[in-house]
């Protein structure tokens, strides 16, 4: 069973701080990694994708991938109350066509 693990939270950070969200995966052959944001009652929306080891930055968001440790993270700089949502990590494993395995998500609360 290929698994994607996330701490369910809630992770509470003050406005302006850096939020760090973590995800581990079990399939060592995994190739592609995604972060989605899901507001309560809404569908997931894609934030970032990352395919190679290292960091990838997009605005206030930075995705970090370490395939040796089977670990992917999302950093949100200058956190805003509007960032309060559940963040889903998704992984495309080896030999799974285009299917993604999702973690159960980490709920982020940005406090004033």
Partner 1 sequence: SQTIHQWPATLVQPVGSPLSLECTVEGTSNPNLYWYRQAAGRGLQLLFYSVGIGQISSEVPQNLSASRPQDRQFILSSKKLLLSDSGFYLCAWSVRGLSTQYFGPGTRLTVL
Residue in 34, 37, 63, 110 binding partner 1, rule: CB under 8 A: 34
Does position 104 bind partner 1 by CB under 8 A? yes
Which runs of E-coded beta strand occur in 1-112?
4-5, 11-14, 19-25, 32-38, 45-50, 54-58, 61-66, 71-76, 85-92, 101-102, 106-111
- How many residues would you count in the chain? 112
- Regarding 45 and contact with partner 1 (CB under 8 A), the answer is yes
If binding is defined by CB under 8 A, does position 61 make contact with partner 1? no
A 10 A CB-CB count for 91 gives 25
Find the binder of partner 1 among 27, 83, 92, 110 (CB under 8 A).
92
> Could you tell me which stretch among 19-27, 67-75, 77-85, 92-100 binds partner 1 (CB under 8 A)?
92-100
DSSP secondary structure letters along 18-44: PEEEEEEES-TT--EEEEEEE-TTS--
The correct pick among 47, 62, 72, 105 for binding partner 1 (CB under 8 A) is: 105
Residues of this chain that bind partner 1 (CB under 8 A): 31-32, 34, 36, 41-46, 49, 88, 90, 92, 97-100, 102-105
């Amino acid at each position: 069973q290929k698994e994607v693990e996330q701490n369910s939270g809630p992770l509470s950070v003050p406005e302006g701080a850096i939020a760090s969200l973590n995800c581990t995966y079990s399939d060592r052959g995994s190739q592609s990694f995604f972060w989605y944001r899901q507001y309560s009652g809404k569908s997931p929306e894609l934030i970032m994708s990352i395919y190679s080891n290292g960091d990838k930055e997009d605005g206030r968001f930075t995705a970090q991938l370490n395939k040796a440790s089977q670990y992917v993270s999302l950093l949100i700089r200058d956190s805003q109350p509007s960032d309060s949502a559940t963040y889903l990590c998704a992984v495309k494993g080896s030999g799974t066509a285009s299917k993604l395995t999702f973690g159960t998500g980490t709920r982020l609360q940005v406090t004033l």
